Structure 1
């Protein structure tokens, strides 16, 4: 080894540090992309819910109730109804529309 030159060991240490820095950058980017993907997935689900409907079952003498898919008064563990199913449900005498989310809005104009 001549004076003033960098040893192979020092070169490899510098390379290892640089590769570790690059790996940290990539891992941070992966985390950012995962968060973005989760946010987009939640936004798609909210949009789908807003264009769907759900039925709250009859309980304690209260009638069944039709809600918009995004209504937070009733969290459904079942699937959503499409527009046609919501129109049919709304026509049923034992199903009332939610007074808060007004699921009947726009359904009458079929």
Structure 2
């Protein structure tokens, strides 16, 4: 069973219509890919694992250790490695009472 027209004229018309439709679909694919790329860029990076909360003022000295993403760290926080966070705690820097980085790091 052939569902296509038998004559050349209608076959050419159908071919043109299909080509135009395919072009429109490809244009929409480009738009959708651009939108997906924009949404991908809009996702913020994950928080660091550990941060040092810094003091107010020009010195910016560390005043507390936090687990990454802790809301108590505030805006003045600097990401640090696990080793740096452990060293800061063992050297007497205060652990955050909310996120308990000392417990997370196994320092009690």
TM-score, length-scaled by structure 2? 0.60
User: Which of these residues, 84, 98, 101, is aligned with residue 100 of structure 1?
Assistant: 98
Segments of structure 1 that go 5 or more residues without pairing to the other structure are none
Output aligned runs, 1:36-55, within 5 Å.
39=43, 42=45, 45-46=46-47, 49=48, 52-55=49-52
TM-score, length-scaled by structure 1? 0.59
Is the partner of 2:52 in helix, strand or coil?
strand
- RMSD value, Cα: 3.6
Is the partner of 1:100 in helix, strand or coil?
coil
> Is the 1:54–1:76 Cα contact (8 Å) retained in structure 2?
no
- Which is higher, the Rg of structure 1 or of structure 2? 2
Q: Does 1:56 align with 2:60?
A: no
Q: Equivalent residue for 2:86? A: 87
Residue 74 of structure 1 and its aligned partner are, at CA, apart by: 2.2
Residue 15 of structure 1 and its aligned partner are, at CA, apart by: 1.2
Tell me which protein shows more strand as a share of its residues: 2
Sort the Cα spacing of 1:59 and 1:18 in 2 relative to 1 into closer, same or farther, 3 A: closer
